């Protein structure tokens, strides 16, 4: 996929810019088979969030907050692969990779920049414009044929998976207005169902972080509209969580997620809140994998003791309740592939064709759902298992014990 910058949509245009004010952009590859010229995959890039003013200032100096160093091309595997042996349903589609640089899962919608004094002592304006980046991208894609779209899959991983939950209905409504021949629209959030959950020490570290950035970025108008309307003003920040957006999603949706996601065990379940958060002079949000005695267990459940594996199973149970307790989960036309492998963003890697539940791989399950037509959700729902009480704990034999990229986990 080749990079397309949206210079005309920048600060002198619609204001669709990255945190540092640089132009937003996306990567695009046209359909490789003429039969799929009207078929599209649109992918939200992930990469975590920033949580307070100084944290966002730090982010504005790298590729997750600025487009200045973006590479000229992009390649994504698994569900976005162009290899038809790996990804037979979508390998020939038009493919779009939306560059992520607003720090809030494409939800920020603040008119005036936030001026922050950085660690270098200099003032810098920060722009929270993720919602405008979505609008600018869809508008720009019209010149590349999106207006003729007939089938569209919206997806994304990690913070991009959360963006998929947040924006599924919005993107669907926009496409309905600009693509009159649209016949099929569905979404597949990957590793984006981050729980509104306290830590093992019962501290609301991650909820506090998300509430802070929701307010800073003025994300009210960048969330699922039905969710925002349903909650009182003081609770609307909760719409930034997948479980809330999912509860109000009307479009067909198929989450792909681990119920014991490796990012969540490190940066939600075993995080510790910095005493300096929020504090504009420190900019230190929650510290991932910092709960005393949990470091090894959080990175690899096979390193847990009996008490800890019970706690990990409780997180799986909480995950299942948070998702399956929503009416969306049982709505005709929906489905889900929720496994227990301790991974993150596995659907865009080799595990897309490896992880299985009941002998059905993730790719096969998703393909079956994509090709279906308003089936009962139970037909396309695959659920996680609980870890065993004795080591080895893993309950799903298809979960290859591959080491997690711990540095990536802690950073995002």
Per-residue pLDDT reduced to its tens digit, 209-229:
999 999 999 999 999 999 999
pLDDT in tens, 350-370: 999 999 999 999 999 999 999
pLDDT band at 285 (very low <50, low <70, confident <90, very high): confident
CB 300 within 8 A of CB 400: no
CB 411 within 8 A of CB 48: yes
- pTM above 0.85? yes
Query: For the domain that residue 169 is a member of, what is the CATH number?
Result: 3.40.50
Q: Tokens 């792909």 map to which residue?
A: 256
- The two tokens of residue 163 are 């963006």
User: What's the confidence (pLDDT) of residue 331?
Assistant: 98
By the 10 Å C-beta count (0-12 exposed, 13-18 middle, 19+ buried), 139 is classed as: middle
Q: Is the pLDDT of residue 272 over 70?
A: yes
User: What's the confidence (pLDDT) of residue 280?
Assistant: 52
Q: How far apart are the C-alpha atoms of 258 and 342, rounded to whole Å?
A: 7
CB half-sphere exposure, 247, CA atoms < 13 A: 17
Q: How far apart are the C-alpha atoms of 76 and 346, rounded to whole Å?
A: 12
User: What's the confidence (pLDDT) of residue 111?
Assistant: 95
* 207 phi, psi to nearest 5 deg: -55, -40
**Element (DSSP H or E) covering residue 361:** strand 360-361
pLDDT in tens, 18-47: 999 999 999 999 999 999 999 999 999 999
User: How does strand 256-258 pair with strand 2-5?
Assistant: unpaired
Q: What's the N-to-C CA distance of the chain in angstroms?
A: 24
354's CB contacts (< 8 A; 6+ apart) are 361, 362, 398, 400
Q: Where are the alpha helices (DSSP H) in 66-129?
A: none
pLDDT in tens, 381-410: 999 999 999 999 999 999 975 433 333 333
Q: Could you list the residue range(s) of the whole structural domain that residue 269 is in?
A: 2-411
User: What's the confidence (pLDDT) of residue 187?
Assistant: 98
Q: How far apart are the C-alpha atoms of 308 and 289, rounded to whole Å?
A: 14
Average pLDDT of every residue of the chain: 94
pLDDT band at 411 (very low <50, low <70, confident <90, very high): very low
User: What's the confidence (pLDDT) of residue 286?
Assistant: 82
Percent above pLDDT 90 for the chain: 93
Q: How far apart are the C-alpha atoms of 145 and 130, rounded to whole Å?
A: 23
Q: Is the pLDDT of residue 252 over 90?
A: yes
User: What's the confidence (pLDDT) of residue 275?
Assistant: 73
In 3D, which of 47, 308, 16 has the Cα closest to residue 157? Answer: 47
Q: What is the mean pLDDT of residues 320-342?
A: 98
User: What's the confidence (pLDDT) of residue 282?
Assistant: 57
User: What's the confidence (pLDDT) of residue 64?
Assistant: 98
Q: What is the mean pLDDT of residues 223-239?
A: 97
In 3D, which of 358, 347, 340, 314 has the Cα closest to residue 401? Answer: 340
Q: Is the pLDDT of residue 332 over 60?
A: yes
User: How does strand 184-190 pair with strand 151-157?
Assistant: parallel
pLDDT in tens, 288-307: 999 999 999 999 999 999 99
Q: Which long-range contacts (CB under 8 A, 24 or more apart) does 201-208 make?
A: 201/272, 201/291, 203/272, 203/273, 205/268, 205/271, 205/272, 205/273, 205/286, 206/267, 206/268, 206/271, 206/286, 208/273, 208/277, 208/286
When divided into structural domains, the chain yields a total of 1
- The two tokens of residue 66 are 């600025």
- Letter string b/e over residues 150-187, b meaning 16 or more CB atoms within 10 A of that residue's CB: ebbbbbbbbbbbbbbbbbbbbbbebbeeebeebeebbb
By the 10 Å C-beta count (0-12 exposed, 13-18 middle, 19+ buried), 373 is classed as: exposed
In 3D, which of 24, 209, 12, 233 has the Cα closest to residue 131? Answer: 24
Q: What is the mean pLDDT of residues 43-57?
A: 95
Q: Tokens 């309905």 map to which residue?
A: 176
Q: Is the pLDDT of residue 126 over 90?
A: yes
């Amino acid at each position: 996929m080749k990079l397309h910058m949206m210079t005309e949509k920048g600060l002198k245009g619609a204001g669709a810019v990255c945190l540092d004010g640089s132009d937003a952009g996306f990567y695009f590859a046209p359909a490789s088979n003429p039969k799929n010229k009207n078929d599209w995959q649109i992918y939200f890039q992930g990469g975590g969030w920033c949580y307070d003013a100084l944290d966002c200032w730090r982010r504005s100096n790298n590729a997750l907050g600025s487009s200045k160093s973006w590479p000229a091309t992009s390649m994504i595997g698994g569900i976005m692969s162009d290899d038809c042996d790996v990804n037979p349903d979508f390998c020939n589609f038009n493919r779009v990779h939306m560059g992520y640089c607003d720090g809030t899962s494409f939800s920020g919608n603040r008119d005036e920049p936030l001026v922050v004094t950085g660690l270098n002592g200099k003032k810098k304006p920060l722009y929270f414009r993720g919602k405008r980046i979505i609008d600018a991208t869809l508008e720009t894609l019209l010149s590349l044929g999106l207006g003729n779209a007939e089938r569209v899959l919206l997806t994304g991983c990690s913070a991009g998976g959360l963006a998929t939950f947040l924006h599924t209905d919005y993107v669907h409504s926009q496409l309905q207005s600009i693509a009159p021949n649209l016949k099929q629209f569905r979404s597949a959030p990957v590793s984006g169902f981050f729980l509104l959950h306290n830590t093992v020490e019962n501290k609301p570290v991650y909820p506090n972080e998300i509430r802070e950035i929701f307010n800073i970025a003025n994300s009210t108008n960048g969330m699922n509209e039905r969710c925002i309307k349903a909650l009182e003003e003081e609770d609307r920040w909760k719409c930034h969580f997948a479980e809330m957006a999912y509860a109000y999603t009307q479009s067909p949706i198929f989450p792909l997620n681990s119920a014991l996601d490796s990012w969540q065990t490190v940066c939600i379940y075993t995080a510790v809140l910095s005493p300096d958060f929020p504090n504009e002079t420190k900019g230190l949000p929650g510290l991932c994998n910092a709960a005393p005695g949990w470091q090894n267990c959080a990175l690899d459940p096979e390193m847990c003791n009996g008490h800890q594996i019970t706690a990990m199973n409780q997180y799986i149970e909480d995950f299942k309740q948070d998702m399956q307790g929503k009416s969306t989960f049982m709505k005709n036309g929906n489905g889900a592939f929720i496994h227990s492998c301790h991974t993150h963003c596995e659907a865009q890697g080799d595990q897309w064709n490896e992880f299985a539940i009941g002998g059905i791989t993730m790719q096969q399950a998703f393909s079956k759902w994509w090709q279906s037509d308003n089936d009962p959700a139970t037909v396309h729902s695959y659920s996680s298992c609980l870890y065993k009480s004795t080591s080895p704990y893993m309950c799903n034999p298809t979960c290859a014990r591959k080491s997690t990229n711990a540095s990536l986990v802690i950073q995002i």
